């Protein structure tokens, strides 16, 4: 990991049954751009090599070095389980902020598509965008299995209530009876989105590789969106 620094775990919060938010203080000099990620170093594996995993930053850029991550507990996953058990006050080693999944100049409609904790860089982008007047329509399509899995739901609903130009579209692949929102995978809603926003929107897609690949293919090959308008981040 390049340019290492220590960060202190300030506080934690349970966001959903499988997602824990961790807020770190990395010191006043730590800076990031919305959409970037950090590498965190975990305990040494059996081989002696430290575990290193990337996590996208979920909070808006700030000047105080404090930032939040949202981590899904993966069954049998060494790093995510370690992070779910980490106590407040613990110190971890992290990299500087990295990655190019960041906002293009805001000159056309924006469509964000995320699943699970793939929403975290999108949330950071949204928070940075909505701190100023929003001149373009922004839509977030957020896929999860069930209603209780919708992390940061209150934030997205409040933003949508406050900003007429922001539309929040949660969709559930295993909706319970009584769910009145969208159903199915995010892929199922793409054609309608492109029809609504036009092909010339910027599409930001984040989550597990399979979803990101399918969404990219649909946008590019079936819906005619230009390559440079599709921005992706893959978690595996």
Residues binding ligand FAD (CB under 6 A): 37, 53-56, 69-72, 74, 77-80, 116-117, 120, 208, 233, 235-236
Across the strands, what pairs with 16?
19
Nearer to ligand FAD, 124 or 197 (CB): 124
In the bound complex, what is the minimum distance in angstroms from residue 119's beta carbon to ligand FAD?
9
Q: What is the number of the residue whose Cβ is closest to ligand FAD?
A: 77
Place of tokens 């751009």: 33
**Interatomic CA distance for residues 172 and 69, integer angstroms:** 23
In the bound complex, what is the minimum distance in angstroms from residue 215's beta carbon to ligand FAD?
16
Torsion angles phi and psi, residue 147, rounded to 5: -60, -40
Whether 110 and 202 have beta carbons less than 8 Å apart is answered as yes
Residue 99 makes CB contacts below 8 A (sequence gap 6+) with: 35, 36, 37, 56, 233
In the bound complex, what is the minimum distance in angstroms from residue 56's beta carbon to ligand FAD?
4
- With 0-12 / 13-18 / 19 or more C-beta atoms within 10 angstroms meaning exposed / middle / buried, residue 28 is exposed
In the bound complex, what is the minimum distance in angstroms from residue 206's beta carbon to ligand FAD?
8
In the bound complex, what is the minimum distance in angstroms from residue 223's beta carbon to ligand FAD?
25
Torsion angles phi and psi, residue 41, rounded to 5: -100, 125
């Amino acid at each position: 990991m390049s340019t290492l620094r220590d960060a202190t775990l300030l506080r934690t919060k349970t966001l959903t049954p499988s997602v824990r938010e961790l807020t770190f203080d990395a010191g006043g000099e730590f800076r990031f751009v919305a959409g970037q990620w950090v590498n965190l170093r975990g305990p040494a594996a059996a081989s002696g090599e430290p575990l290193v995993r990337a996590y996208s930053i979920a909070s808006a850029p700030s000047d105080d070095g404090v930032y939040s991550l949202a981590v899904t507990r993966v069954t049998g996953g060494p790093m995510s389980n370690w992070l779910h058990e980490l106590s407040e006050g613990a110190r971890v080693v992290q990299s500087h902020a990295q990655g190019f999944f960041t906002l293009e100049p805001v000159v056309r409609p924006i469509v964000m598509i995320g699943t699970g904790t793939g929403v975290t860089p999108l949330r950071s982008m949204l928070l940075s965008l909505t701190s100023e007047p929003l001149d373009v329509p922004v839509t977030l399509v957020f896929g999860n299995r069930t209603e209780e899995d919708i992390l940061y739901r209150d934030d997205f609903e409040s933003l949508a209530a406050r900003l007429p130009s922001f539309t929040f579209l949660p969709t559930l692949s295993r909706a319970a009876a009584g769910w009145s929102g969208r159903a199915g995978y995010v892929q199922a809603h793409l054609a309608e989105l492109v029809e609504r926003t036009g092909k010339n929107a910027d599409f930001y897609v984040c989550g597990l590789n399979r979803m990101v690949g399918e969404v990219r293919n649909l946008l590019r090959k079936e819906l005619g969106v230009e390559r440079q308008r599709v921005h992706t981040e893959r978690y595996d």
